[in-house]
Each structure stands twice: as C-alpha cells, then as structure tokens.
Amino acid sequence: SAVISQKPSRDICQRGTSLTIQCQVDSQVTMMFWYRQQPGQSLTLIATANQGSEATYESGFVIDKFPISRPNLTFSTLTVSNMSPEDSSIYLCSVLAVPYNEQFFGPGTRLTVL
C-alpha cells in the first residue's frame, strides 16, 4: 500500500493568517489530491495536484485561496490563505496508486481557525 504522512496533524490559527500543509508519500505516484472535510460532512475535492504544472481546481475553489505545490512525485503542499473560521475543517491528502487499483488517504490535518 501507499503510506501517506501529513504535517501538521492539527493546528489552531488566527483569522487572516495562512497555513501550509505538507503531504509526503512513500512511493512515486502520478495523481495526488487534496480534500476538505467540514465538521460532520463528507469529503469534498479541492483540487488535483499535478506534478510540474498548476493544480486543477474544482468548482468553488480558487488558487488564490488554496495554492498548491507539487514539486515531485512524492510530495505536495496545500496552503490555506487568509483564513476565516469557515475554513475550520479536516484537510486530507490522497493518492491514486495504480498498482493497487486503490485510492489512499493521509491521516488528515485538523484545522481550527479562531
């Protein structure tokens, strides 16, 4: 299986600040994704992180608010910019591992914005 780690595991931030979340995979993968899970809700896809090019964002999510980097096939970052309390969520990194025909998820980053 693909093992995914995320940093930080949780954080409490002030309104107006930014937080960068890191995602590290133990193997090279083509497709990496970032999801948001708001309290008591399901997962919503924010964007697909593309290696060597700009991320592909879903409707309702924009690059200025959620800039994403993907410098190589094992690492990605998601920044939550100019945070407000509505950004309080769990943010999850995910990869699609072709050999296993399966999508794997990181443990998530629990963000609370005051």
Q: Is 43 in the site for other proteins (CB under 8 A)?
A: yes
> CA 69, CA 63: separation in Å to the nearest integer?
11
Structure tokens at 43: 């997962």
Query: Which of residues 16, 71, 82, 102 is near other proteins by CB under 8 A?
Result: 102
Span of 14-22, 60-68, 69-77, 105-113 interacting with other proteins by CB under 8 A: 105-113
What is the C-alpha separation between 51 and 75, in angstroms, rounded? 9
Taking the least distance from each CB to other proteins, the nearer of 56 and 82 is: 56
Residues 6+ apart with CB under 8 A from 83: 13, 14, 15, 16, 17, 18, 19, 111, 113
Instruction: Write each residue from 1 to 20 as x if it is in contact with other proteins (CB under 8 A), else as -, in one continuous string.
Output: --------------------
List contacts with other proteins (CB under 8 A).
31, 33, 41-45, 48, 58, 92, 96, 98, 101-108
